[in-house]
Each structure stands twice: as structure tokens, then as C-alpha cells.
Amino acid sequence: MPKPWRQSTKGTAMRRVKYGPCGHMFDPDLNRAIGQMYEQQGYDFMIWSDQMMLTIPRSLWTPDLAPASEFWDIDTFMDTWPLMTDVAIHTDKIQIGTTVFDAIRRPPANMAQLTATLDHYSKGRFFLGMGAGEIKQFAPYGIERAKPFGHLEESVKIIKLLLDAPDVVNYEGPHWNLRNAVLPLMPYGEKRPPILIAGGPGRAVDIAAKYADGWITYVPTCGSPEWYAAEVATARRKAEEAGRDPDAMIFYLLTMNIIDETDDQVEHHTHDPIARWDAAAVIPGPNVYQDWGLGEHPIRPDYSYPTHLLPTEWSREDALKIIDKTPPEVVRRARACGTPRSVADQLQAYIAAVPESNEVWVNVINYTSFLGSGNFGDPADQVDLVLETCNHLRAMNGQPIPTNEPS
């Protein structure tokens, strides 16, 4: 039955908005099949996260709280780069990229070579999402998370230098030096792959505006559409001050959502203990919790997700105490919650916060995959809900609806 798509209120004007879901992280055959399916469904891009572990304590990932735990381990991640390469080989149109890799665990010369390689395997469809990294990817593995944004800024500079230079290059910096370095593998097309920087306001926005091609941020967790509009304006101003074209910046919305068919199902999800843990744990800083009028963060007064969250160190008893202090309201604040149309309405407010001269990318993740029964039918339902949400957004932005959506 055809969906009643809500058309744009701006007539036939079409915005430059791209939509993308996530790849599969631990089954190569399924990952390849999903990539081919996403391309057939008309998505513009798909992403993989360069992770060693997720955000949910293993002590909570048990059948009584997470039925899906009987089927898969919450921290199972294959390396992102072979997964992306495989999909690049077996698709033709969809863009592929990282959201995100961190700038310390993989040095910039290595990243430049990997980026150039994926650029060729994908025939010009690769993009590189970079971030400063989270403590959970470092401390458990014996890596120091020192001056993460300094490393991030310098990594972007070196990657661009190596990708753009046809001959030997030299560079001296606070973290890395290049001496007669060379990477003659030139881009597949006329220019190198786009580089996008992930993070909240401050250093990440500054690095994105001055050196990269776009900014990735996490909504609605980081702030309201009004907050986002102000940060977009800041990024554009900084790009212009750096002598760059602010209209050329890509604004990438990493959106975490709880999408289901009915409001009652969504309300049930907001009470789920796993959803409540993650809504509290992945808040970027204490100011967000305070801005919501919820007082002190339940984990610690100065809590910051990138610098404090170590999921494998949480006992079940202590994690349950945090869940008890986290009301469903936090889930609704940290996630866009609702039916596909309702979630699309919420995400559209962020798209509208970006000037029409800029391109917007929207990565739509349905968090209910962590809250399901473990039944293999659940992921298929969630894929359909994400596609329906994206099609509502396409209609709102004057874009055509792909005709090959599942019946």
C-alpha cells in the first residue's frame, strides 16, 4: 500500500540532502548483502563505525534485559576497512565511509594510504569521517588518549598533504613528522575523498571549518535544532574567516532514533533498561543534562562520554543504579522517538537549521535493534522503518521517492 508521504511545504524546491544507514559489523556475507540492498533501495551512502567496543556494559547484555544477547555479542566488531572494501567491490553507486575513525589509533600516513586505497576500490565513492576518539577505544587496549584534538587536527593536515602531493613531502608537527615521505597513489577522480570531522562544539567545529570538508555531530543528544543552527552558523563563519567557501561545507547529522510502528511501542522502548542506560551514558557532557533541567548527571557531576565511559568496568549492580536514576524522559531527549513520520518531523527541524546552500547528510540509526527480541525478523522490520523515515524526509525536502522500496 502506498505511503502517505508528507510533501514539502516549499513547493517543488529540492534540497541537497543525502540519506544513509549503517553497514553490518561482524558478518561479511550479511554486510555485503546489506550494502547491495541499500543501494537497490536508493540510499545515497552507508557507514561503518571504527570501534573496538560499544557503549553498553557486558554485565547488562544478558537475556533478561536484552533478549538479543542470546544471538550476538554487543562488542563484536570486525575491522571496518575490509568490510567497506568488500561492499565497494560489490556495489556501483552508493557512497561508503567511516563514521568515525579516531586520529590516534591509526596514524595519519596509514590513514592516507587506506583512504587512497578505498577511493580506488570504490571508484571515487569513499568519504572519511574522523574524530578525536573515545576513552573506551584507548584505555582498555593500553593506548594513551593524550591531546586527542591536537592529534585530530594534525592528522587531517597530514592526510590532506599526502593525498594532494604528487611527490616527496616534508612536515614537522607536535605529534608527527614526515621526512621525504611519498604517497604517489593519486585520487581516483579529480579530487581526493571528502574528509568530515565529528564532534561537538568547540575544537571539532574549528577543525572542520578550517581544514576539512564537513562537520559530523550527534543529534538530538548534543542539542536542540536551535542549538544546531547556531553551531552551523559558527562553522560557516569560521570557514569564511579561514578563506574557505562556507557553502561548500557538508553538514552531517548522525541521528540516533527509536522508531517503531505505534506510539505505544515507542513508549515501551523508552522504559527499556538498555535504552535508559545508553541515553544517559552517551550524553557528551554534563551541560547537556543540566540544559534539560535534569540536574546533576547520574554517573558523575562532570560526566563526559568521550573521556569517562568505560563500559567493561561497570558491574551489573552499579549500572542498574544508573538506570534507576534515568527516567524515560532522558531517552526521549537523547533520541528522536516516534513513528517514522514523527521521527522524520523531528529530524527535519535539524535539516532546516542548515542554509539551503549547504549539502546535508543524514545518517539514520534505529536503536530498537538493541531492544528487540533477538528474533531474526526484528532487523528486517527496523530496516523498513528506517527506509520509511527517510522517504518521509525526502518528501519534505522536495526529493523523489525511490520506486524500488520494498512492498
Contact yes or no for 129/157 (Cβ under 8 A): no
Say what the pLDDT of residue 7 is. Answer: 54
Contact yes or no for 150/158 (Cβ under 8 A): no
Nearest-5° angle of CA 382, CA 387, CA 392? 125
Say what the pLDDT of residue 285 is. Answer: 83
**Where do we find the cell 621526512?**
179
CATH of 17-273+335-396, one of 3.20.20.30, 2.130.10.10, 3.30.70.1450, 2.70.98.60: 3.20.20.30
DSSP readout, 3-68? --PPPPTTTT----EEEE-B--SS-HHHHHHHHHHHHHHT-SEEEE---SS-SS-TTT-STTT-GG
Which candidate, 405, 287, 394, 400, places its Cα nearest to that of 17? 394
Q: How many residues does the chain have?
A: 407
pTM of the predicted model as reported, rounded to 2 decimal places: 0.95
Helix boundaries (H) for 338-376: 340-351
Bridge partners of 129, per DSSP, are: 196
The full set of domain ranges for the chain reads 17-273+335-396
| Residue 80: partners with Cβ closer than 8 Å, 6 or more residues away | 25, 48, 49, 50, 98, 101
Which stretches of the chain drop beneath a pLDDT of 70? 1-12, 372-381, 405-407
The pLDDT > 70 percentage for the chain reads 94
Q: pLDDT tens, 52-93?
A: 999 999 999 999 999 889 888 999 999 999 999 999 999 999
